[in-house]
């Protein structure tokens, strides 16, 4: 059984953390990962920085710009992750824009993910149909799950199709926004969570975008298998003080 | 018009195009895809659009036989005078089309991206005309560099928001506009200024610019009695005036299509915008196409003396025209374009936009026969480039 499936079988209220590789410093990628695991994060999405991150708000944009200036790239990231499986056990996801992966080569990318022990990928601007027609076989061959986003506007039929054709989890974007944009749950969001729950999906679902504290984490966990925190965590990484102590107290405060 | 050179129903032009967008944009794009053809093909829409093009833009724009230029290059040169349009360029053809569509879709708020400010001005103009709110994203660096156009947009009532991310230029303004659209899916319509972006934008913008080739066809026949020119030529950045110039000739294979990219300081100088000449494929702003990127797949900032041509990608249809050899792609350096800007001005009394001057470099790079006819689209006028011309031609 793969690590993602195992995690969702074993645990509830999954806390998934997103951060940008190579931020705040180039060499921070793996040390942050280790601290996250020790602190109690269940799943991690490592962001591949891109020059044109059109789905991201200012916080993650800024982290990506810094990471690129630091010299981060897919090549560097895979080098950093080469020994990662001797250090952390939790499922690892890479998240990034399709152009960097396309340039690296789809097959080479999937193979490398498999080699270093990356369990899944989230490529928000990879069209689902293109994935099915051209990419799925390659990722399947290397046992790498593709995770797709759904939003309050995504029709039921499309959600069901994504559920049927993928095997990681469903990434529920909480509202029409870029990352980090909003706080608190509206009636519309509650209706959306309810709608998705009634579809009885095979895959677990995590809710992301706009979650950043204990209250919002607890609240969203009521409606899905867990929550994803991105911008709030990336913001913390940019703050002064001891990075690893900051991470520990952040995760602790989220879990409550 | 159905053509093997146009988009299929998924917006693919051969191996290019498509809609490479995050799920958050999917509903906006799906809705637009669903309605755009139905709306723009109605009699009501066409009537209003054509009326505006005639009375407000001043169309048809003349097809002008450039006698002295023809003599110099020993061929027959015709200029399609888009520079005579209201707001000074071809951009208005598209913004009026899209704003009528936005109105029909019940949208209240218009957003746009702009580089040098030409598309921003054309959008702000259309918004003033229609009484719609207008927000224009412009790279913070461009806001400083293009102060007169910023003032024009503001005078027209638009809010100009400087894009502070990335390199603070056109591509960053485009990212900001897309983010705005993600966050405001209900009331907002995004008017893209070129044949770029996710499907259906490249097809839609090409249709609104196709009036250029439609008129060329009619005017050429009326002027010469013959059915087809031998060449039609346009400059290409994102490629909207080239798309409009080519559109109704795509299936007339006897008409050769020529696109001229801006190579800045030279194709291999690292300071260029000659996307096709560099020939790397990737995904930018929702479309698969040729683009400029480094070895890690990061988009590279383009350079050209002409702000309207320095986009790091190119419309997917142009990528397909390159793939199929339907169009000839040339490139022109800053200096070559500047030389022509002065020459056209002195020979014909027409000061061209810096962008348009690139197209004329085809007269040097290709050998046209004495009895052949070459139509070159003069996409815009040079008023906005006077500070460049003052510097380069010592006019102070």
For chain B, the three-class secondary structure string (H helix, E strand, C coil) is CCCCCCCCCCCEECCEECCCCCHHHHHHHHHHHHHHHHHHCCHHHHHHHHHHHHHHHCCCCCEEECHHHHHHHCCEEEEEEHHHCHHHECHHHHHHHHHHHHHHCCCCEEEEEECCCHHHHHHHHHHHHHCCEEEEEEEHHHHHHCHHHHHHHHHCCCEEEEECCCCCCHHHHHHHHHHHHHHCCCCEEEECCCCCCCCCHHHHHHHHHCHHHHHHHHHHHHHHCCCCCCEEEEEECCCHHHHHHHHHHCCCCCCEEEEEEEEECCCCCCCCCCHHHHCEEEEECCEEEEECECCCCCECCCCCCCCCCCCCECCHHHHHHHHCCCEEEEEEEHHHHHHHHHHHHHHHCCCECHHHHHHHCHHHHCCCCCCCEEEEEECEEHHHHHHHHHHHCCCC
Give how far B259 is from chain A: nearest CA, Å: 26
Sheet holding A170-173, edge to edge: A145-146, A120-122, A92-95, A43-47, A14-20, A226-229, A205-208, A170-173, A149-150
- Bond from prior residue into B357 cis (ω within 30 degrees of 0): no
Chain A residues lying within 8 Å of B165, measured CB to CB: 58, 61, 65
Chain A residues lying within 8 Å of B297, measured CB to CB: 50, 74, 99-104
Interface contacts (A, B; CB < 8 Å): 107
**Record: contact B299-A99, CB cut-off 8 A:** yes
CB burial readout B175-193, b (16+ within 10 A) else e:
bbbbbbbbbbbeebbbbbb
**Record: contact A52-B296, CB cut-off 8 A:** no
Chunked into runs of 10 residues, chain B (396 residues) has average pLDDT values of: 86 98 93 97 98 98 98 98 97 98 97 94 98 97 90 98 88 93 93 97 98 98 97 97 98 98 96 95 98 97 91 97 98 98 98 97 98 98 94 93
Considering CB atoms only, which of B20, B27, B298 is closest to A51?
B298
Distance CA A149, CA A171 (A): 5
> Which of the residues in chain A have pLDDT under 50?
none
Distance CA A36, CA A43 (A): 9
Q: Is A45 a catalytic residue?
A: yes
Closest CA to B292 of A84, A57, A16, A52: A52
DSSP-assigned states of every residue in chain A: --HHHHHHHH-SSEEEEEEETT-SSGGGHHHHHHHHHHHT--EEEEE---S--TT--HHHHHHHHHHHHHT--HHHHHHHTTTGGGT--S-EEEE--HHHHHHH-HHHHHHHHHHHT--EEE-TTS-HHHIIIIIHHHHHHTT-EE--EE-TTS-HHHHHHHHHH--S-EEEE-SSS-TT---S--HHHHHHHHHHHHT--SS-EEEESS--SHHHHHHHHTTSSEEEE-HHHHHHHTSSS-HHHHHHHHHHHHH-
**Record: contact A100-B283, CB cut-off 8 A:** no
Tell me which chain A residue has its CA closest to the CA of residue B31. Answer: A153
Question: At a CB cut-off of 8 Å and minimum separation 6, what does A241 contact?
Answer: none
Closest CA to B111 of B35, B28, B47, B48: B28
Main-chain phi, psi angles of B229, to 5 degrees: -70, 165
Domain ranges of chain A: 3-255
Give how far A30 is from chain B: nearest CA, Å: 20
Chain B residues lying within 8 Å of A108, measured CB to CB: none
Show the CA angle centred on residue B359, arms to residues B357 and B364, nearest 5°.
95
Per-residue pLDDT at B392: 96
Distance CA B197, CA B29 (A): 11
Tell me which chain B residue has its CA closest to the CA of residue A174. Answer: B24
Write down the catalytic residue from B33, B70, B80, B91. Answer: B91
Tell me which chain A residue has its CA closest to the CA of residue B291. Answer: A99
Per-residue pLDDT at B257: 98
B161 touches A: beta carbon within 8 Å: no
Per-residue pLDDT at A183: 63
Considering CB atoms only, which of B18, B22, B171 is closest to A149?
B22
Q: Is B218 a catalytic residue?
A: no
Q: Please check whether residue A215 is in contact with residue A209, taking contact to mean a CB–CB distance below 8 angstroms.
A: no
Distance CA B92, CA A152 (A): 35
Q: Which of B33, B190, B283 has the highest number of chain A CBs within 10 A, making it the mutation to test binding with A? A: B283
Distance CA A208, CA A53 (A): 17
Q: Please check whether residue B249 is in contact with residue B258, taking contact to mean a CB–CB distance below 8 angstroms.
A: no
Distances (CA, A) of B243 to B210, B235, B249, B320: 7, 10, 10, 12
**Record: contact A177-B182, CB cut-off 8 A:** yes
Token couple for B44: 């009501």
Task: List, in sequence order, every residue forming a beta bridge with B255; answer none if it has no partner.
Answer: none
Question: At a CB cut-off of 8 Å and minimum separation 6, what does A51 contact?
Answer: A68, B166, B298, B299
Question: At a CB cut-off of 8 Å and minimum separation 6, what does B137 contact?
Answer: B111, B112, B113, B114, B161, B163, B173, B174, B176, B177, B180
B341 touches A: beta carbon within 8 Å: no
Considering CB atoms only, which of A56, A65, A99 is closest to B293?
A99
Closest CA to B383 of B345, B334, B347: B345
Per-residue pLDDT at B168: 87
Q: Please check whether residue B220 is in contact with residue B71, taking contact to mean a CB–CB distance below 8 angstroms.
A: no
Distance CA B356, CA B337 (A): 8
Task: List, in sequence order, every residue forming a beta bridge with B349; answer none if it has no partner.
Answer: none
**Record: contact B296-A100, CB cut-off 8 A:** yes
Give how far B371 is from chain A: nearest CA, Å: 46
Q: Is the ipTM of this complex over 0.90?
A: yes
Give how far B257 is from chain A: nearest CA, Å: 30
Write down the catalytic residue from A28, A45, A119, A225. Answer: A45
Considering CB atoms only, which of B10, B185, B298 is closest to A176?
B185
CB burial readout A116-144, b (16+ within 10 A) else e:
bbbbbbbbbbbbbebbeeebeebbeeeeb
Closest CA to A9 of A200, A174, A202: A202
Distance CA B119, CA B87 (A): 10
**Record: contact B283-A98, CB cut-off 8 A:** yes
Per-residue pLDDT at A209: 86
Considering CB atoms only, which of A61, A102, A154 is closest to B23?
A154
Distance CA B5, CA A246 (A): 56
Q: Please check whether residue A189 is in contact with residue A152, taking contact to mean a CB–CB distance below 8 angstroms.
A: yes
Show the CA angle centred on residue B163, arms to residues B158 and B164, nearest 5°.
145
pLDDT in tens, B235-285: 999 999 999 999 999 999 999 999 999 999 999 999 999 999 999 999 999
Which CATH architecture describes the domain A3-255? Alpha-Beta Barrel (3.20)
Per-residue pLDDT at A256: 87
Token couple for B293: 């990127």
Write down the catalytic residue from B33, B107, B113, B322. Answer: B113
Per-residue pLDDT at A181: 63
């Amino acid at each position: 059984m793969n690590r993602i499936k195992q995690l969702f079988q074993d645990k509830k209220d999954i806390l998934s953390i997103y951060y940008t590789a190579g931020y705040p410093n180039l060499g921070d990628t793996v040390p942050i990962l280790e601290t996250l695991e020790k602190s109690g994060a269940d799943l991690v999405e490592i962001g591949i920085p891109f020059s044109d991150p059109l789905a991201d708000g200012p916080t993650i944009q800024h982290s990506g710009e810094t990471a690129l200036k630091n010299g981060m790239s897919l090549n560097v990231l895979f080098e950093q992750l080469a020994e990662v499986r001797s250090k952390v056990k939790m499922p690892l996801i890479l998240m990034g824009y399709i152009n960097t992966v396309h340039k690296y080569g789809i097959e080479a990318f999937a193979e490398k993910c498999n080699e270093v022990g990356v369990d899944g990928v989230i490529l928000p601007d990879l069209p689902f149909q293109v994935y099915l027609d051209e990419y799925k076989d390659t990722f399947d061959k290397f046992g790498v799950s593709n995770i797709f986003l759904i939003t309050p506007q995504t029709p039921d039929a499309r959600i069901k199709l994504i559920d049927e054709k993928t095997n990681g989890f469903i990434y529920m974007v909480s509202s029409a926004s870029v990352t980090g944009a909003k706080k608190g749950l509206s009636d519309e969001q509650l209706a959306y969570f309810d709608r998705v729950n009634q579809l009885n999906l095979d895959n677990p679902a995590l809710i992301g975008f706009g979650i950043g504290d204990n209250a919002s984490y607890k609240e969203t966990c009521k409606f899905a298998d867990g929550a994803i925190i991105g911008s709030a965590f990336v913001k913390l990484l940019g703050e002064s003080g001891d990075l690893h102590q900051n991470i520990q107290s952040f995760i602790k405060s989220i879990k409550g | 018009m159905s053509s093997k050179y146009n988009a299929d129903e998924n917006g693919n032009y051969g191996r290019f195009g498509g809609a490479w967008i995050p799920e958050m944009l999917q509903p906006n794009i799906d809705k637009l895809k669903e309605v755009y053809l139905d709306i723009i093909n109605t009699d009501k829409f066409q009537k209003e659009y054509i009326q505006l093009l005639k009375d407000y833009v001043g169309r048809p724009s003349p097809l002008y036989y450039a006698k002295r230029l023809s003599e110099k290059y020993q061929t027959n040169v015709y200029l399609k005078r888009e520079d005579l349009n209201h707001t000074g360029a071809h951009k208005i053809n598209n913004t009026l089309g899209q704003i009528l569509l936005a109105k029909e879709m019940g949208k209240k708020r218009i957003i746009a991206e702009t580089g040098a400010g030409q598309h921003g001005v054309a959008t702000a103009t259309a918004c003033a005309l229609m009484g719609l709110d207008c927000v224009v994203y412009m790279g913070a660096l461009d806001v400083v560099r293009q102060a007169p156009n910023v003032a024009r947009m503001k005078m027209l009532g638009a809010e100009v928001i400087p894009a502070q991310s990335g390199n603070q230029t056109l591509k960053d303004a485009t990212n900001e506009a897309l983010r705005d659209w993600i966050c405001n899916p209900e009331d907002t319509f995004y008017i893209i200024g070129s044949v770029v972006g996710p499907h259906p934008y490249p097809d839609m913008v090409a249709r609104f610019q196709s009036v250029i080739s439609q008129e060329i066809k009619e005017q050429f026949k009326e002027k010469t009695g013959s059915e087809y020119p031998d060449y039609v030529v346009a400059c290409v950045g994102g490629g909207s005036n080239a798309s409009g110039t080519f559109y109704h000739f795509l299936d007339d294979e006897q008409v050769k299509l020529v696109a001229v990219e801006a190579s800045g300081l030279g194709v291999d100088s690292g300071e260029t915008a000659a996307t096709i000449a560099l020939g790397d494929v990737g995904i930018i702003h929702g479309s698969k196409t040729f683009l400029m990127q480094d070895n890690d797949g990061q988009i590279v900032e383009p350079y050209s003396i002409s702000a309207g041509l320095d986009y790091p990608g190119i419309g997917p249809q142009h990528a397909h025209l390159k793939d199929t050899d339907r169009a000839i792609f040339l490139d022109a350096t800053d200096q070559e374009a500047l030389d022509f800007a002065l020459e056209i001005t002195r020979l014909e009394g027409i000061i061209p936009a810096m962008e348009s001057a690139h197209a004329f470099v085809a007269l040097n790079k290709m050998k046209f026969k004495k009895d052949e006819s070459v139509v070159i689209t003069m996409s815009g006028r040079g008023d906005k480039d006077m500070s460049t011309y003052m510097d380069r031609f010592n006019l102070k």
